């Protein structure tokens, strides 16, 4: 595979666009369809006034990008972060389109964000920002239009505020307008663990394909929030040896394995920094991803593996838990090293898959047992893994480009069937 060239390697939109272009080219996508699928359907910029606790008025900038509704309503999280940019949200919305298509669920792609730091504001201020953001978007949201979910800096409570605000505007309780909600408001059993569980499922599938066993597999997980924590917990329970962990405070590495239940109690129970936990050598959160391991799971944020450091990755299997942890120019280096990559649009798709299950349950008013949710998730992740790997082998491309090709082909076929309304 040739190296993908972009002007700014750390621009996530350029990386997403470059991979789309390569996959579209290999598919022989006709020029008109290429242009249609490349650009988002709409981009909305919002200016959100909110009263701070000291009584002063502040205005926060927010975005919602709807990339595609060709296969169904838009689907994508809302992130609250000081680093949110329109280009990042645009890239994440496109990734959601391809992610939903890879796992073959009837959603398009969307994403939202507000430039703010939740750590610097009270519960009440975050609620005011959330409600005003939702109110400004209320005509664009809806169970058949655009269905948000939690993302970085947001959670179940944030989604409850979104659901309530939208419901007040349409004058009826509309639980299916958002996913990732509390169980008492129509959330799904198994949703909180879904992304981490999906990572375990595709890792199991990758090991089986490569003739390996969990008991002899060392894993490094970068990120110890909801995704990384559940991935670590479930992998540990499945027999994997977790040798490296990282969160925003730093990282730990122990080639003999870390005490995962104790680490979870320390960070998520006692609310203490992972870097203060004993049992391993301390290092930077970025440095841990280059330690010896068999499986590397970057589950923190974008642009962790670049053309400058991809050569230092020691893992033979890379399972992407975060969105965009590997830049486009780094792909060729990982290919040359023979790293078996499960790209983000497949690897972390467990979350959106169970979000789809939540949406289905809300719409039918009937809820499933957790065992049913997990069984259905297993079916989707296994089938999607097989689809991507089969496509990679038959078209002689790596798994990332294969995943994009599977997704683009499905969206393009739906577009051809629908036609262009003009």
What are the catalytic residues?
A: 111
Number of domains in the chain: 2
CATH number at residue 247: 3.40.50.720
pTM metric for this prediction: 0.95
> Is residue 145 domain-resident?
yes
Q: Is the pLDDT of residue 12 over 90?
A: no
| Residues 236, 169 share a domain | no
Structural element, H or E, at residue 64: strand 57-68
Instruction: Answer yes or no: do 85 and 168 share one domain.
Output: yes
Co-location of 202 and 166 in the same domain: no
Q: Do 179 and 268 sit in the same domain of this protein?
A: no
- Which of these three, 185, 214, 234, is where a domain ends? 185
The verdict on 198 and 327 lying in the same domain is yes
Q: For 23-34, give the DSSP string.
A: HHHHHT--HHHH
Q: Looking at the structure, do residues 227 and 97 belong to the same domain, yes or no? A: no
Q: Are 353 and 149 in contact (CB under 8 A)?
A: no
Domain boundary among 328, 347, 366: 347
Residues 68 and 172 in one domain: yes
Q: Kindly report, residue by residue over 152-203, the tens digit of the pLDDT.
A: 999 999 999 999 999 999 999 999 999 999 999 999 999 999 999 999 999 9
- Phi, psi at residue 404, to the nearest 5°? -65, -40
Q: How far apart are CA 301 and CA 87, in angstroms?
A: 15
Greater confidence (50 vs 5) lies with 50
Q: Domain range for residue 289?
A: 194-347
Task: Specify the residue for token string 């974008």.
Answer: 302
The pLDDT of residue 10 is: 85
Residues 336 and 203 in one domain: yes
Residues 181 and 228 in one domain: no
- Asked whether residue 302 is assigned to any structural domain, the reply reads yes
279: left (phi over 0), alpha (psi -120 to 50) or beta: left
**65/166 same-domain check:** yes
- Is 21 domain-assigned? no
Question: Domain ends where: 329, 347, 365?
Answer: 347
Q: Domain for residue 3, yes or no?
A: no
Residue 270 lies in a domain: yes
Q: Exposed, middle or buried: residue 360 (CB in 10 Å: 0-12, 13-18, 19+)?
A: middle
Q: What is the mean pLDDT of residues 326-347?
A: 96
Do the domain assignments include residue 24? no
* pLDDT for residue 1 is more than 60: no
């Amino acid at each position: 595979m040739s190296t993908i060239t972009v002007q700014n390697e750390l621009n996530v939109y350029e990386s997403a666009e470059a991979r789309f272009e390569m996959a579209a080219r290999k598919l022989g996508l006709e020029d008109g369809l290429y242009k249609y699928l490349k650009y988002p359907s709409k981009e909305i910029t919002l200016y959100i006034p909110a009263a701070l606790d000291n009584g002063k008025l502040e205005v926060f900038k927010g975005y919602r990008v709807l990339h595609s509704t060709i296969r169904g309503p838009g689907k994508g999280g809302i992130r609250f972060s000081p680093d949110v940019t329109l280009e990042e949200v645009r890239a994440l919305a496109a990734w959601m389109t391809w992610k939903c298509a890879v796992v073959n669920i009837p959603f398009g792609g969307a994403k939202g964000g507000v430039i703010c730091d939740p750590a610097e504001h009270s519960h009440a201020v975050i609620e005011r920002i959330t409600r005003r953001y939702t109110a400004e978007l209320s005509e664009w949201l809806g169970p058949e239009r655009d269905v948000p979910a939690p993302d970085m800096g947001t959670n179940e409570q944030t989604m409850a505020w979104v659901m309530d605000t939208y419901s007040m505007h349409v004058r009826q309780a509309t639980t299916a307008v958002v996913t990732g909600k509390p169980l008492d408001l129509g959330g799904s059993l198994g949703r909180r663990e879904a992304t981490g569980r999906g990572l375990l499922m595709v890792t199991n599938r990758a090991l089986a394909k490569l003739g390996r066993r969990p008991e002899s597999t060392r894993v490094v997980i970068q990120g110890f929030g909801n995704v990384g924590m559940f991935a670590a917990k479930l992998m540990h329970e499945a027999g994997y040896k977790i040798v490296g962990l990282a969160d925003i405070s730093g990282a730990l590495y122990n080639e003999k394995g870390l005490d995962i239940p104790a680490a979870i109690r320390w960070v998520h129970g006692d609310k203490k920094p992972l870097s203060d936990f004993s049992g391993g050598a301390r290092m930077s959160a970025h440095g841990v991803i280059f330690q010896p391991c068999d499986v590397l799971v970057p589950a923190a944020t974008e642009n962790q593996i670049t053309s400058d450091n991809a050569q230092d990755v020691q893992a033979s299997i890379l399972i992407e838990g975060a969105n965009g942890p590997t830049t486009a120019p780094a792909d060729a280096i990982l290919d040359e090293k023979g790293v078996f990559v499960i790209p983000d649009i497949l690897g972390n798709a467990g979350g959106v898959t169970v979000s789809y299950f939540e949406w289905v349950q809300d719409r039918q008013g009937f809820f499933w047992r957790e065992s049913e949710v997990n069984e259905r998730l297993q079916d989707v992740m296994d089938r999607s893994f097989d689809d991507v790997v089969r496509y990679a082998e038959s078209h002689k491309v790596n798994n990332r480009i294969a995943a994009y090709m599977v997704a683009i082909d499905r969206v393009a076929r739906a577009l051809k069937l629908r036609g262009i309304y003009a």
